[in-house]
Each structure stands twice: as C-alpha cells, then as structure tokens.
Chain A
Amino acid sequence: ARAEGWDMPTAYPASNYHTETAVAFAACVKGATAGKFDITVHPNGALFKGNDIKRAVQTGQAPIGERLISAHANENPLFGVDSIPFLASSFEASEKLWKAALPELEKLLASQNLVYVYAVPWPPQGLYTKKAVNSVADLKGVKFRSYSVATARIAELSGMIPVQIEAADLSQALATGVADSFISSGSTGFDVKAWEYMTHFYTVDAWLPRNVIFANKDSFDKLSASEKAAVKTCGDTAAASGLAQAKALTQKYIDALAANKMTVSAPGAQLKSELDGYGKTMTGEWEAKAGAAGKAIVDAYSK
C-alpha cells in the first residue's frame, strides 16, 4: 500500500512551523488528488539526517525531501545565495532575492536530478551575546560559534574566535562558556532557550536562510499530469503560508526572548554600518565565487 505514496524526510521536530507547513502541503496534495496520492512526512531526521536528505532525494532513496539549502554552499555557491550576510535582510528583500535567483537555482537543481517544489524562509538571523555590543570592536576576542563558511568569515572579519560546535553540543557549550556568542534566528534561540545562557539579542537580520523542498526527478516524472499539477499548486500554497507563518513567528519569538529577560534591540548605528560593510565585502566575495550566474542574480536583485 505504501509503495504508491511518497515518503518525505525532514530534519526538524514535528512542532516546527516548517514541518507543519510540510504536513499541510501533504494534506493539500492528498485532497487535490481525491486521496489517491499520499505523502508521509517523517520529521526529526528519523528517516534521513538533515545532512543526508539532498543526496537521498537525488539518488532516489527518498522521492521528496526538505533541506536547509545553504548547507550545500560548499558544493555550489549558488546554494548559498540566501545566506550572503547583510545582503537581503528583510522578508521583502529576501523574497526579491529569491525571485531573482530562482531560475538559476531551478536549473542547478534540475542538473542534479531534482525538481524544485517550494521554499520557506527562516526568521531573520540575529546576534546572541553575553554582553552589550555597540561596535565591532566589542566583539573582538569573543568565542563565536561558527558552523558554516559564512559564519567563519564573519568571525574572521570581526576578530572573533571561531569555535566549531556541533548541534548536539550547543546547549552545554553555551551553558559553560565554550561559546560566548552565535548568530541564529529567533526561533532557534527560543528552541535552545538562549536566555538561560545569553543576555543580549541584536536583530541584525543578517540573512534569511531557506528550507527548500525538492522532489526526485524520476519519481516526479512518473506522476500523472493531475498529480504533478497538485504538487506544484500545493507547493505554491505552502510557500505562501510558510512565509506568512515565518513573518508572524518572527515577532512572536522576539517577544518571547524579551519576556524571558533578554535585552532585545536593533543594532546601534555604528555596529550596523560596520556590519553592512562586511555585507559588501562578502557579497563581492560571493560574486567572485559564483561567477557570471551569481553576478547576474545580484544585479537583478539590486535593480
């Protein structure tokens, strides 16, 4: 019975809004095909760990899956377009950037045997610290959790000490001071209960990374025309409702951090202009890596 349906591995808990969006997407597809086409969401990394999901879908081990796409920036800089620090730092800007990048990304995914279905952004990334930070000078020497090329580069530019902490060690590392600072969305800070270890949250809105939902091309091609249409239409609906969710939750999480006695504020003028400077530097570096396609995306976005 199960062979006719699709299994959809995702890396986040069932209560996360990305998972809820995926579950709604699955229900939508089922409804649109009169109950004939069933997608089962497997949250929590229970089927495949986050790291393995893209490869699993590429090679047909799973017919569809969800992945934080910028995690694959090592493979191709285009996958990191949504995570260039301080380039697109609002929902509107992020949407515009994503629209500019989508044709190239769809092409790239197709070359990897993947069909783009939809994408949902995370809330903007903010800066968590254990002290007040007014300028980049205050960050010098701070132990900063770097988990990606971009976060390592930010540490390098600002003179912070990058420390590599894996997700499993994060809470203890924060609690005991192995790391003093990290960049993440309000939702992640809420999830790890950042207020138990951190005092300040700066809404620097560094970038809005996205989870992309993609299907295996061979599996997708085997669907009937009406099933394909259902996947695409429901994907569009999911993208819209996921975006609305992300916007609604952003404020909710910021309020929750404040309610737990964290000092929540926008970055001061000096810090902001210094960070924007890093943004220009890193955008340039990204364009150099991503080549003509990358430059075209940034140009289209900046217009």
Chain B
Amino acid sequence: MAIARVFRFVLDGLYKTAAALAALSLFGVFAIIVAQMIARWSGQSLRGSTDYAGYLMAASSFLAFAAALNHGYHIRVTMLHSLLGRRGGRWAEIWAFGVGSVIATYIAWYACKTVWWSRKLGDLSQGLDATPLWIPQTAMAAGAILLALAFLDNWVRLVATGRHGVRAETSDQIPLE
C-alpha cells in the first residue's frame, strides 16, 4: 500500500508540474506575440518570434494533455456506458481506457522516436530561429509520455479498484444546474 501511495504522489506531482509548465507556455505564447508587436511598432524585430510562439503552443498543448484527461476535459461519447448498467459499464470503461492506453502509448513511442531522429539528422527549423528541432519536440514527447502514463494509471486503478481517476469538472467551468 505504501508503494501505491508513493506512486500516487509521484504521478500526481508529475501531472501537476506538467500542467503548470503548460500554462506557463501558453502565457509565453501571449508574451512573445505582444513583444513581437511592440518590437515592430518601435521599428525593431524579434528574430524567429513566430517560430518560438509555435513551439510554445505545441508544448502547452502536449504538456496539458494528461491534466486535461484527469480533469475530464477530453471529450468522448459515453452513451453506451450508461446503457450497459453498472457491470457492463465497467467493462466498457476498461475497454475504453485500454484502447486509450494503447493509442496514447503508440503516440508517445513515435514522439520519442521523432526526437531521436531530429537529433540524429540534425534537423533545424527552416525559420529565422534556426532552432534544432529536437529541443521543442522534447516537450511534445514528454507530454505524450505523460498522457500514456495517465491512461495506464487510470486503467490500472479501474481494474484494481473499479474506479478511475477522471473527475469531470465541467460543472465548475460553467455553473450549469
């Protein structure tokens, strides 16, 4: 049990840290675009700013994938689950989280592979920034790994305890009912 608690602590810490980095990246996108406009108005230029904004946007999206899953933001159709009743619903959940785990792991695998290849090929951005692409792509790979972990994490909890950890927050976003 102690080990389970350590796992819980580490995993939740990872999801939270990544989500904080994702929010920071989104703020970075905003900051770069504002800086780019101010620079232009004052006759200056920020080399490669549009490329950096793009990298930060990718980082923001991927790093937030896991948190978005755990907070019930990623959407799906769960009509079948309610039709199947409790027992059947649980099997359907095991199936859905299982498929989710497989696909997310598949994405994570190739995201890592592409970072490795970008490094090996010395792939550089074609913009004015000339960034080695493996650097921004690392954020994508990290986010993809975390999403896969989050899916597996929930799948294991579902099988072991019958409950997954996805807690929908839609009612907090907009006060409906």
Asked whether A and B interact, the reply is yes
Shortest Cβ distance from B51 into A: residue: A164
User: In the complex, are the beta carbons of A141 and B126 less than 8 A apart?
Assistant: no
Selecting from A70-78, A203-211, A285-293, the interface stretch reads A70-78
- The one of A72, A143, A148 in contact with B128, judged by C-beta atoms closer than 8 angstroms, is A148
Selecting from B3-11, B64-72, B115-123, the interface stretch reads B115-123
Q: Is A302 an interface residue (CB 8 A)?
A: no
Shortest CB distance B143–A (Å): 20
User: In the complex, are the beta carbons of A75 and B40 less than 8 A apart?
Assistant: no
**Number of chain B interface residues as a range:** 20 to 34
Map CB proximity to B onto A41-73 as digits: 1 under 8 Å, 0 otherwise.
000000000010001001100000000000110
Given A74-B124, A74-B130, A149-B128 in contact, is the A166-B43 Cβ separation under 8 Å? no
Contacts of B44 in A (CB 8 A): 161
Contacts of A146 in B (CB 8 A): 45, 128
Contacts of B121 in A (CB 8 A): 55, 58-59, 112
- The one of B45, B127, B130 in contact with A162, judged by C-beta atoms closer than 8 angstroms, is B45
Q: Is B49 an interface residue (CB 8 A)?
A: yes
- The one of B117, B125, B128 in contact with A152, judged by C-beta atoms closer than 8 angstroms, is B128
Q: Is B157 an interface residue (CB 8 A)?
A: no
**Number of chain A interface residues as a range:** 20 to 34
Q: Is B138 an interface residue (CB 8 A)?
A: no
- The one of B36, B49, B50, B126 in contact with A71, judged by C-beta atoms closer than 8 angstroms, is B126
Report Cα–Cα, A112/B120, bound state, in Å.
11
Q: Is B48 an interface residue (CB 8 A)?
A: yes
Shortest CB distance A226–B (Å): 32
Q: Is B47 an interface residue (CB 8 A)?
A: yes
User: In the complex, are the beta carbons of B130 and A166 less than 8 A apart?
Assistant: no
Contacts of A148 in B (CB 8 A): 128
Report Cα–Cα, A197/B121, bound state, in Å.
41
User: In the complex, are the beta carbons of A163 and B123 less than 8 A apart?
Assistant: no
Shortest CB distance A12–B (Å): 16
Report Cα–Cα, A75/B36, bound state, in Å.
25
User: In the complex, are the beta carbons of B50 and A166 less than 8 A apart?
Assistant: yes
Shortest CB distance A103–B (Å): 22
User: In the complex, are the beta carbons of B43 and A161 less than 8 A apart?
Assistant: yes
**CB-CB contacts below 8 Å: A156-170 with B:** 161-164, 166
Map CB proximity to A onto B29-66 as digits: 1 under 8 Å, 0 otherwise.
00000001000100111111110000000000000000
**CB-CB contacts below 8 Å: A97-124 with B:** 112
Shortest CB distance B153–A (Å): 32
Report Cα–Cα, A178/B39, bound state, in Å.
12
Shortest Cβ distance from A166 into B: residue: B50
**CB-CB contacts below 8 Å: B100-141 with A:** 117, 121-128, 130
User: In the complex, are the beta carbons of B125 and A74 less than 8 A apart?
Assistant: yes
Report Cα–Cα, A72/B49, bound state, in Å.
18
Report Cα–Cα, A51/B122, bound state, in Å.
15
Shortest CB distance A164–B (Å): 5
Q: Which of A58, A72, A112, A163 has the most CB of B within 10 A?
A: A163
Report Cα–Cα, A164/B37, bound state, in Å.
10
Contacts of B130 in A (CB 8 A): 74, 149
7 A/B residue pairs, CB under 8 Å, sorted by A: A59-B121, A75-B124, A112-B121, A161-B43, A164-B36, A164-B48, A178-B40
17 further A-B contacts with Cβ under 8 Å, apart from A55-B121, A147-B127, are A59-B117, A71-B126, A72-B126, A75-B122, A75-B123, A112-B121, A146-B45, A149-B128, A149-B130, A152-B45, A152-B128, A161-B40, A161-B43, A163-B40, A164-B46, A164-B47, A164-B48
